[in-house]
Structure 1
Amino acid sequence: MYNSEYKGKQVLVAADHGSFASVAAAAQAEQQIDWWDRDSADADICTACYAAVEIAEHFRLALGDPPPLLVNRDEAARIRDCRLVIWVGPPPATASAGAAWQNWLMAREAEWETLPEEGYVITSYVEEAAVHWIIAAKDRLGLLYGAYALLEELGFRWFGLGAAGMHLPPPKQLEPRMIELLDYPRFHTRGVYSEHINDSSTELLDWLGRNRVNFASLDHIRNPHALQKRGIRICMGGHNILYRFLNPHAEYPGSYDDNDSSLTMGIAPAQARPLTYAEAHPEWFGFIDGKRSFNVGEGDREGFGDNFCTTNPDAVRELCRRLTDDLTDGEWKHADYLNFWMLDNGNWCQCSHCRDAGNCSTRMILLVHALRKHLDTAVESGRLKRRINIIFPIYHETLPAPDRPLPEDFDYSSCYPTYFPIERCFLHPLSDPRCTESNQELMETFLPWTTDGDRYYRGEVFMGEYYNVGSFAACPVPLMTIMKQDIPFYYESGIRHFHYMHLTGGQWGTLTLTNYQLYRMLWNPSADTERMLEEYYELYYGSEAERARGFYETLEEAMRNSKYLKHYQYSRGSRHSLTGYLREDAAELFPLQHMQYDARADSSNAGISLTECVQLLSVCRRLLDSALDHARDEVVVARLLEDELRFAYLEDMVHYIYGLVRIHSFAKSGADSRARRAFQRVRRFAESLEHNTIAVSPSTRFRLYDNGLKASWCEQAYLRYKARYE
């Protein structure tokens, strides 16, 4: 029930529901709206009413029934005997609160005029016994974000998914009072990227919207209207573009084999064997090592292979035509952004025309420029109803900045690159000069894209981080310290767009903090991160806050070398990976100073050793068990159990890798009896991982994540030792 401040008084939440029957009806009308018509008034109304419903529902959750009354704003101006009125959008001029809003505008005109996109204002007005909270913005997302800012000011938090991840304030915190807020996002794009999940979870969509995520690139988009209502713009594309739109093995329309015997027997050409793209136009495809290559993978190899000849104008035209058709009325017709990527680690054409065109980045930019022209023509003709932003990769072979000027009419406003530092370590911040083995090499490519005075590229840059890179496979790798240092650095370097790979769909465990901290910092990278972390432990873990913090911080230290341990990092142009070396049965497993087996190198590059990692995980286990022993609040217990599920998976994973390292050492030295004994222990962890399908799910695309053993990325090493020592 309501507390005494609200009993006998109405709480109103007012919004303009336009031509819809009610505020609630407008809030649920997303399927009726063309969100890709940027001038749609109904889109503004739907999101504003959804914001009003969100406020009312959160009040109901905190205070109980009856919920606040949802009313049209004109009706709200006539209702009396109110304790609190919350206006989602400026009040009408006929209401006394409307005059108060006009007074605010006159007093703070300059602040309003310069309020950035997605920013909001919350101001208060007292009329007799009623408090009015006015949420105002210049766009629908600003209103939605203002609603969430108001709820946060009252004490609501959305740390994790669903009701279990939400913090409700005590009723006293919702008492009417004067509130004055003005804020806006510092990062323009605050994105989520995942090749493993879709948008079918309403809990996930709610979490994204409430934490101001406004960009989504997911494996499949099934609910585009639900995303758009929450202000989440949709990105399509990726490394599969050539497979879909310029596949050498696909049928080339309207072309047939002249040597097909059916053509000489009077049979209609429709029954003859059609040519493939490679057969019809071999010159369109990459010239690799002295011959044309038609290597574009499919199945598990989709997205890999050899790129096409990007200087062949007919090939470029065909690719752009087919992409434009698909973006107009095909599978990607709901895209607001296009990840326009070539093949993953793909080889680039070596023909003389391509070599003369510039380095790989220059060629990529010229290709982007051509696609932009095709899309603009489609918009001008009325065939394509929206302007799509094109995002291209700064990744592996395109890490070096363009080596010559861009076209004079290159559209910087809608075409920009994503810098992907997949080669980095997480032991050091990206800009740390002490990391001479890895991150400083990346800085030599980062600065020429972002801040160098003589750079050719002069536009905005997207950042694509790897806080749950594919081979981490949802292992809990806290990165509080790295994010505290990296995200402000990115902002100071001019980065205004950000996402990370790969968000998981549920059972986040300690990944909850990674997700929550990231989007708080993307909203404002200069906010008090330490205070945010304190609040997270206090509100999420209650009486167990101190033990939980110790657990997180110890786990972060244990996993500081996670990139080398579980993925890879580059040094001097070469890839180094512990799991990779185990797969290959390499002679040396620890060639980098970053991570040694049982000691730390005397170097600024040096971090935690593998044996130290194992030891610290034991400390983590004691802290987590102690928290579970002492917790009494069932909500806190559920959160700790989710942490435990994911941590147990990590324990098995690290002990498994540690055991393989020991077997490798014994086997190389001829100590077979010790290797055999070590294998017996590793087998227990391997079997536990193999039976663990929960921690790695869901992943709808990749067999590597069928279970924890496959997700180790070094199952081959285990099978090799199994054949030898079992």
Structure 2
Amino acid sequence: MSVLGSRLLFLLALVVSCQPFCNAQSIKLADGGKSSYNIIIPGNASETEKKSAEVLQNYFQKVTGARLDIREENGQNAAMISIGSTKLAARLLKATTIREDGYAIVSEGKNLVIAGAGTKGTLYGVYTFIEKYLGCRKWYTGPPQIPQSRTVSIPANLSLYENPAFEYREAFFPGVRDQEYVDWHKLHQFTKLWGSWGDTYEKFVPASVYFKSHPEYFGLVKGKRVPNQLCTSNENVIKIIIDSLQRKMNANPNAEYWSISPNTGPGYCECPLCAPTTAREGSVAGNLVLMVNKIAAHFPKAKFTFLAHGYTQQAPKYAKPASNVIVQLTSIESDRLLPFTQSPSAENFIKDLANWRKLTDNIYIWDYCAQFTAYLAPFPIVPIFQPNLQFMKKNMIKGVLEQGSGPGYTDMGELKGYVLAKLLWNPDVNVDQLIQEFTDGYYGPAGPSVREYLSAMRNAAVKTHAIMDIFGNVADGANTFLSPKYLDQYNDLLGKAKKAVGSNSVLLQRIGALQLTQDFTYLHQARYYGKGQRGLYSNNAASRSTVTQDTLQGVLKRFLDNGVKVGGVQVAEFGLSPGAYAAEERKILSAPVRQNMAMNAKVSLKFPYEKRFEGKGAAALTDGVAGLGDYSYNWLHFKGHPMIATVDAGKSLKADSIQTSFLYNPGFNLFLPASIKVEVSSNGTDYITLQTINVPEPVKIDRQVKLVPFKIATGKNNRFRFIRVTATPLSDFPDWAWAPSKTPVIACDEIWVY
């Protein structure tokens, strides 16, 4: 904390925000490009105070043309802008209540004071002054917007005090690539604050080092020790973590937080030491809390976090986190169309939060603001930001991570990052005003058209009850807000925006970023539609039409061009670059059209498919479109029961083979069926079994995503009208992938007959 911070009286726990009062008089800091002011810093100025003075000096000169000298205070300074913990600041602000990161901007006579608490409070105050009174803006990465004004005045009797709503504030969007953007908008970065982040068991007790010699250090799952997770009751495990932490802390003394959390993936220890605690606490999180408390006791001045996520999301009944332990609760299951308080999908999150609040006041929220399976998919969720953050503030949440696409580009990442940054500081700010300010400032004369575009997309999403799933896909919206009708409307509005900016290359590139998401939608949905005007090939499904090819190639070229200009683009969290995606698309377009004798045949299902990835429903099994590596479209999912699909070709067929494929992606609980049986019939009543395939269970750890085909020859039974495919899922997960309270899922793309 700065010297000033130690002098301030920390009396209030709420944000104090006093709007500047301006009487008929004002104070001129610059007049006609000249100024009599100096910037004054304390004699023992900190590095942040020196930087704050230099930042103010730089922007003041760029705006007015006047360069202010930076001097140490000497008691005789006149006409000064005081920065940091000067004697003037101590005198003027001695009765104020500024918390960590908070600041004050106060005038007395001709003098102005900008000072804050904590490491960066003064710097945050300077950037607020630069934005509020010099008119500068930092919309996104890159150079800020700096107006020219040779005269600058501030209100007399200026008195502005601000404190943050949350002690930890992170909007993980592309703005994080720019350190000035982070400081300007008063944000934090977990990469700089945490010495260990996220899931960390493997980092502290690596299975490659300990599992073979000490399997008892790891979780007992269904009677077997597996290397997925740790035994949290084992004292040797706790000692190893403490020793590892000490080494890491010595190497990284500036880290404020240390995460101790389960590895990504399923499984938790059921050994005789852990199981009774789980039963008593009613949650696996009880064991985690008790272990982290023991570790935290060895480092009382450090802050520890753990993830309340997955099977640790539910709060224990009795185990209270220690005073230096913070719960990091995730909202991963919540749909993003509506705010938490209006969304049925958020009911468990709200319940879990209430139960954790009974145990501790130290809670951070890890929230999600992007579609991770399709960063470039339109995801119009800005209107939920304010009510969700107001909900968090009301529930006394201390810190918030709003996870977007990180340094990579995502749909409207510029606006989303900007709005979230402002709301993380003050959840009650006027969002409509923020959006207008941003769109007019960032898109220039295209601002009104961009707002029309945003409103049209949001209104369509709400009207059609679209699913805003963070693991969704543009195919999900094909029947809602991303239908051809709506996509045409959005593209017309972008055309209007493009026309408004004329030949301005900077603004054209910014409109191009919006176009990037629409073109991605068009290209990705072409894979989903398969045939027809918006698909990969013509309606007869036997060839690709020239019109379709030309249209797709044109969109593909524009997509690639805009992707290169925008930079830092990948289509999903672990997805392809625009260039790699374009290459994949061209490969699909150049491949021969695959024929299916059962094309568009009626499909009857004995058990329902998973609605979350509904797509075309049962029709997906005979639409002639093969699935790719993305599980969220062109795959029909079945959970908790077999897939028993009967295809009625409508006429007798003579075919040599029947083939179907299943997707293997254990990261999303997708496993191959335990068995696949294929039968055929001429009358739909009497069936002949062609083959039953028993699929080996993956005994060893295998997380590689695979598309696995199963081909059955018809042999002498090559005449039939009906095909029945029965795919039976695993009864439980393999030991290495065990996931309590979850069920193995199977996903099938097509029943090919040829």
TM-score, reference length from structure 1? 0.67
- Residue 405 of structure 1 is matched in structure 2 by 318
SS of alignment partner, residue 338 of structure 1: strand
- Residue 275 of structure 2 is matched in structure 1 by 355
CA 1:428–1:661 in structure 2 vs 1: closer, same or farther (change >3 Å)?
same
How far apart, in 1, do the equivalents of 2:541 and 2:514 lie? Answer: 28
Contact 1:167 1:540 in 2 (8 A): no
- Residue 333 of structure 2 is matched in structure 1 by 423
- Structure 2: gaps (5+ residues): 1-27, 585-612, 614-626, 635-706, 710-748
* Superposition map of 1:197-596 within 5 A: 204-213=178-187, 215-218=188-191, 234-239=193-198, 241-250=200-209, 277-294=210-227, 306-329=228-251, 332-358=252-278, 359-376=283-300, 387-402=301-316, 404-406=317-319, 410-412=321-323, 414-432=324-342, 435-436=343-344, 438-450=345-357, 455=358, 457-473=359-375, 475=377, 477-505=379-407, 510-557=412-459, 564=467, 567-568=470-471, 577=472
Contact 1:13 1:71 in 2 (8 A): yes
How far apart, in 1, do the equivalents of 2:199 and 2:175 lie? Answer: 17
* Bigger strand fraction: 2
Percent identity for Structure 1 against Structure 2: 17
* Superposition map of 1:134-213 within 5 A: 134-162=113-141, 164-168=143-147, 170-174=149-153, 177-193=156-172, 204-213=178-187
Contact 2:337 2:381 in 1 (8 A): no
Query: How far apart are residue 314 of structure 1 and its match?
Result: 1.2
Contact 2:461 2:481 in 1 (8 A): no
CA 1:46–1:399 in structure 2 vs 1: closer, same or farther (change >3 Å)?
same
Q: Quick check: 1:659 aligned with 2:579?
A: no
Cα RMSD over matched residues? 4.0
Which one has a bigger Cα radius of gyration? 2
1:503-533 CA deviation, whole Å, 9 max, x = no partner?
5437678311111111111111122222222
Query: How far apart are residue 165 of structure 1 and its match?
Result: 4.3
Query: How far apart are residue 709 of structure 1 and its match?
Result: 6.3
How far apart, in 1, do the equivalents of 2:751 and 2:43 lie? Answer: 69
1:44-75 CA deviation, whole Å, 9 max, x = no partner?
611111111111111122123x422111122x
- Residue 516 of structure 2 is matched in structure 1 by 649
- Residue 704 of structure 1 is matched in structure 2 by 575
Contact 1:62 1:168 in 2 (8 A): yes
Aligned AA (1:125): E
CA 1:527–1:317 in structure 2 vs 1: closer, same or farther (change >3 Å)?
same
Query: How far apart are residue 552 of structure 1 and its match?
Result: 2.5
How far apart, in 2, do the equivalents of 1:478 and 1:192 lie? Answer: 17
Contact 2:84 2:114 in 1 (8 A): yes
1:83-123 CA deviation, whole Å, 9 max, x = no partner?
x521113554xxxxx4x973x457xx3xx1x3322222222
SS of alignment partner, residue 135 of structure 1: strand
Contact 2:361 2:396 in 1 (8 A): no
Contact 2:460 2:481 in 1 (8 A): no
- Residue 46 of structure 1 is matched in structure 2 by 47
How far apart, in 1, do the equivalents of 2:80 and 2:411 lie? Answer: 38
CA 1:181–1:706 in structure 2 vs 1: closer, same or farther (change >3 Å)?
same
Aligned AA (1:464): W
Query: How far apart are residue 427 of structure 1 and its match?
Result: 0.9
CA 1:698–1:11 in structure 2 vs 1: closer, same or farther (change >3 Å)?
farther
1:335-356 CA deviation, whole Å, 9 max, x = no partner?
2112322111331112232221
Contact 1:464 1:500 in 2 (8 A): yes
How far apart, in 2, do the equivalents of 1:339 and 1:672 lie? Answer: 54
How far apart, in 1, do the equivalents of 2:451 and 2:373 lie? Answer: 26
CA 1:9–1:318 in structure 2 vs 1: closer, same or farther (change >3 Å)?
closer
SS of alignment partner, residue 124 of structure 1: strand
- Residue 57 of structure 2 is matched in structure 1 by 56
Q: Quick check: 1:623 aligned with 2:493?
A: yes
How far apart, in 2, do the equivalents of 1:627 and 1:688 lie? Answer: 17
1:272-324 CA deviation, whole Å, 9 max, x = no partner?
xxxxx122211111112221112xxxxxxxxxxx2111111112221232122
How far apart, in 1, do the equivalents of 2:322 and 2:361 lie? Answer: 9
Q: Quick check: 1:88 aligned with 2:62?
A: no
How far apart, in 2, do the equivalents of 1:492 and 1:441 lie? Answer: 18
SS of alignment partner, residue 716 of structure 1: coil
CA 1:178–1:138 in structure 2 vs 1: closer, same or farther (change >3 Å)?
same
CA 1:629–1:349 in structure 2 vs 1: closer, same or farther (change >3 Å)?
same
Contact 1:478 1:511 in 2 (8 A): no
Query: How far apart are residue 145 of structure 1 and its match?
Result: 2.0
How many residues matched?
556
Contact 1:316 1:367 in 2 (8 A): yes
How far apart, in 2, do the equivalents of 1:288 and 1:563 lie? Answer: 39
* Bigger helix fraction: 1
Aligned AA (2:290): L
How far apart, in 2, do the equivalents of 1:355 and 1:700 lie? Answer: 42
CA 1:144–1:703 in structure 2 vs 1: closer, same or farther (change >3 Å)?
closer
1:436-495 CA deviation, whole Å, 9 max, x = no partner?
3x2234333333223xxxx3x222211111113532435553432011221111111221
CA 1:286–1:162 in structure 2 vs 1: closer, same or farther (change >3 Å)?
closer
1:225-272 CA deviation, whole Å, 9 max, x = no partner?
xxxxxxxx512323552332211212xxxxxxxxxxxxxxxxxxxxxx
Contact 2:131 2:137 in 1 (8 A): no
1:591-630 CA deviation, whole Å, 9 max, x = no partner?
xxxx6753xxxxxxxxx4542xx43333222222222212
Aligned AA (1:492): K
- Structure 1: gaps (5+ residues): 19-43, 93-97, 219-232, 251-276, 295-305, 377-386, 569-576, 583-594, 599-607
Aligned AA (1:628): K
Contact 1:89 1:135 in 2 (8 A): yes
Contact 1:327 1:335 in 2 (8 A): yes
CA 1:170–1:339 in structure 2 vs 1: closer, same or farther (change >3 Å)?
farther
Contact 2:30 2:152 in 1 (8 A): no
How far apart, in 2, do the equivalents of 1:534 and 1:198 lie? Answer: 19
SS of alignment partner, residue 158 of structure 1: coil
SS of alignment partner, residue 207 of structure 2: coil
How far apart, in 1, do the equivalents of 2:35 and 2:557 lie? Answer: 62
CA 1:567–1:116 in structure 2 vs 1: closer, same or farther (change >3 Å)?
closer
Contact 2:379 2:411 in 1 (8 A): no
Between stretches 649-658 and 172-181, larger displacement belongs to 172-181
SS of alignment partner, residue 391 of structure 1: strand
How far apart, in 1, do the equivalents of 2:530 and 2:240 lie? Answer: 53
Query: How far apart are residue 17 of structure 1 and its match?
Result: 4.8
CA 1:486–1:702 in structure 2 vs 1: closer, same or farther (change >3 Å)?
closer
